[in-house]
A = this chain, B = another copy of it.
Amino acid sequence: MASEFVYTRRVEFADTDTANLIHFTALLKFMEEAEHALYRSFGLVGYRWSDDSVFGMPRVSVSCDYLGAVRYGDEVDVRLRVREVRRKAIRYSAEFTIDRPGEREAVARGDWTVVCARREHGCRDWRGIEIPSPLKERLRALTAVPE
Contacts and interface: CB of A to CB of B under 8 A. Distances in A.
A33 B17 contact: no
Contacts of A40: 73
B123 A24 contact: no
A83 interface: no
A45 B75 CA distance: 12
A62 interface: yes
19 contacts: A12-B29, A12-B36, A13-B17, A13-B32, A13-B33, A16-B17, A20-B20, A20-B119, A20-B124, A24-B32, A24-B58, A45-B73, A46-B73, A54-B123, A59-B66, A61-B64, A62-B62, A63-B63, A69-B126
Interface of A: 12-14, 16-21, 23-25, 28-29, 32-33, 36, 40, 45-47, 54, 56, 58-66, 69, 71-73, 119, 122-126
